[in-house]
Structure formats: structure tokens, C-alpha cells
Amino acid sequence: MNNEQIILYLKEFVTEKRFALFQKIVEWRTHYVSVLLENIYQSHNASAIVRTCEAHGLQDVYIYERNNKFVTNEEISMGADKWLSIHRYNEKEISIPVLFDNIHQNGYSIVATTLHKTAVSLYDLPVDKSKLMFLFGTEKEGLSKEMIQHADEYVKIPMYGFTESFNVSVSAGIVLNYIVQKIRNSSLSVSLPQEEKERLLIEWLVRSIPSGKKILKDLIISDNKIQM
């Protein structure tokens, strides 16, 4: 049984309106822009950023935990994290150089949001050279020196008041809103591959159906028996 057949079977367990919404949203999903959050410790900020990522069509959120555990608040995230692919890492398990090497192998340029002396304005950052992974750091200290040291590019958000920085969730909102609009208005092809769209549809359907995992498991077992 292929993905299309599984989708046809599972969609009968949800309303036509809900399935149509899934089909619409999956077309907007993208890997072209992603974020990596380092050591975020306030649940309201973690939740707000996750919600912002989902609302802008990002599929992937990367978490790098140091001494703080990344925890979301359901009332703020509004369940956004259940529609995303959350990739969790811990400094005890993987170093930043190794993690960044893996990210580079997936075609990303790593962009630190920082007041680094070589940082360019967000609005001058080119979006057509490679996929973009934006780094956001802790609420007080921002990104660690190690993260900044290993980044490929540096951007800052222009500011015109006495305040020198935004709250991290506000920064993420400003960055993502501008960058996503810029790529959507370009000629870049940023949609997911068809196979991944199908995989996501199956995943979303399963999460939306009571006992969805069991229904999917029974379907696969039944299909295997028929093939045998």
C-alpha cells in the first residue's frame, strides 16, 4: 500500500473541510527557512517562537539545549508544535561544530541574529544563494560565543530607539515574517517534495483521528497479510 492509498483511507475519518485544510497548508510548508533555538528557557518565549514558525509555514524547528530544557506552554503555542518537526539536541550529546556540519550537509547557510561587528541589516540579506537556518539565543545573553563563531553570516534588525535589542520571540517574528515574504515573492522553488507532502498528510491525519496510530498500524498489518 503506497502513501496515496493510505491517505485515501485515513481521510475518511476526518471531515472534508479538515482534509481540504491539510491539503492547502501542506502546499505552503517549506524547509528553505528553518530556525535553531539555543538554550531558550522561558516557556512563553519558546511557545511564541514555535507558534510563529508554524504560522509562517516552516516545517522544522531545531532545539539546542545546554543547561535549560526547552518547554512550551500549550496556551501560548496553541498546539502549533504538533504540526511541526521538532529536532532536539543537547550539548552533552553533540557539539556545535558537529551539529553545524550536519546542518551544512543539508544545504543550509547558518545565520546568526546578533549585533556582531560584521552583521548586515536583515533587509540586505540575500535569500537566493542557499537555504537559511536562523539562530536565536537565550533571553538575556543571546547566542553563545561558540554559536556566533561558527555561523556563516550575521544579521541584525535595524532599531531606531534607545533600546538595543528585542525580546527573542519578537526578533524571531520580525525575521521570519520578512524572510518568508521575501522568498514567497521570489521565483525560488521552496515547496516540499511530493513524497514528503504525502508523509506529512499521513502524520497530520493520524494525529487528528482518535486512535489514529492504531488505525494506521492495523491498516499496514492488514495490507501485509494480503500481500503475503
SS3 33: strand
pLDDT at res. 151 = 95
User: Residue 228 pLDDT > 70, yes or no?
Assistant: no
pLDDT digits (tens, 9 = 90+) for 141-163: 789 999 999 999 999 999 899 88
pLDDT digits (tens, 9 = 90+) for 22-72: 999 999 999 999 999 998 877 788 888 999 999 999 999 999 988 777 766
pLDDT at res. 47 = 86
pLDDT digits (tens, 9 = 90+) for 179-193: 999 999 999 999 999
pLDDT at res. 44 = 82
Rounded to an integer, the average pLDDT of 120-132 is 95
pLDDT at res. 81 = 82
User: SS3 sequence, 52-121?
Assistant: HHHHCCECEEEEEECCCCCCCCHHHHCCHHHHCEEEEEECCCCCHHHHHHHHHHCCEEEEEECCCCCCEE
SS3 125: coil
- Whole-prediction pTM value? 0.89
User: Residue 77 pLDDT > 70, yes or no?
Assistant: no
pLDDT at res. 114 = 85
DSSP label at 144? Answer: -
SS3 188: coil
CATH label, 30-190, candidates 3.40.50.2300, 3.40.50.300, 3.10.20.30, 3.40.1280.10:
3.40.1280.10
- Give me the percent of the chain exceeding a pLDDT of 90: 69
Domain ranges of the chain: 30-190
pLDDT at res. 75 = 52
Rounded to an integer, the average pLDDT of 113-134 is 91
Q: How far apart (Å, rounded) are the C-alpha atoms in residues 166 and 122?
A: 14
Least confident of 3-7, 74-78, 92-96, 136-140: 74-78
SS3 160: coil
User: Residue 79 pLDDT > 80, yes or no?
Assistant: no
pLDDT at res. 117 = 79
pLDDT at res. 10 = 95
Q: How far is CA 55 from CA 1, 31, 51, 133, 176, in A?
A: 32, 14, 6, 17, 10
pLDDT at res. 96 = 95
User: Residue 203 pLDDT > 90, yes or no?
Assistant: yes
Q: Cell numbers 526547552 correspond to what residue?
A: 70
Q: Mean pLDDT across the chain, nearest whole number? A: 89
- Give me the percent of the chain exceeding a pLDDT of 70: 93
Q: How far is CA 77 from CA 81, 84, 106, 121, in A?
A: 7, 12, 27, 29
